Structure 1
Amino acid sequence: MNVKSNYGIKRNWQGDPCIPLSYMWDGVNCSYAGSSSPRIIYLNLSSSGLTGNIASAISNLKSIGYLDLSNNSLTGSVPYFLSQLHSLKVLNLEGNQLTGAVPMQLRANSNNGMLKTSASFGGNQGLCYSGSCSNSNKVVVPLVASLGGGFVILATAITSFFIFKRHRVTSEMGNLRAYSRIKMELESNKQQFSYVEVQKITKNF
Structure 2
Amino acid sequence: MLRAVGRAFSAMITAFFLALLALDLYIVVQTLAFHNPSPSVLGWRQLVISSGSMEPAISVGDLILVRRQPAYHEGEVVTYRLPDGAYITHRIIARTGGQFILQGDANNTADEPVDPSDVLGRVERVIPRVGNFILWLKTTPGMICIILAGFLSIQLPRWLSCGRPEPPGGRPAQKRVYRGGEFVEPPPEKRVYHAGEPFGGPPQ
Q: TM-score, normalised by structure 1?
A: 0.27
Could you say which structure has the higher helix fraction?
1
Larger radius of gyration: 1
Q: TM-score, normalised by structure 2?
A: 0.27
Which one has more relative contact order, counting CA pairs under 8 Å at least 6 apart?
Answer: 2
Could you say which structure has the higher strand fraction?
2
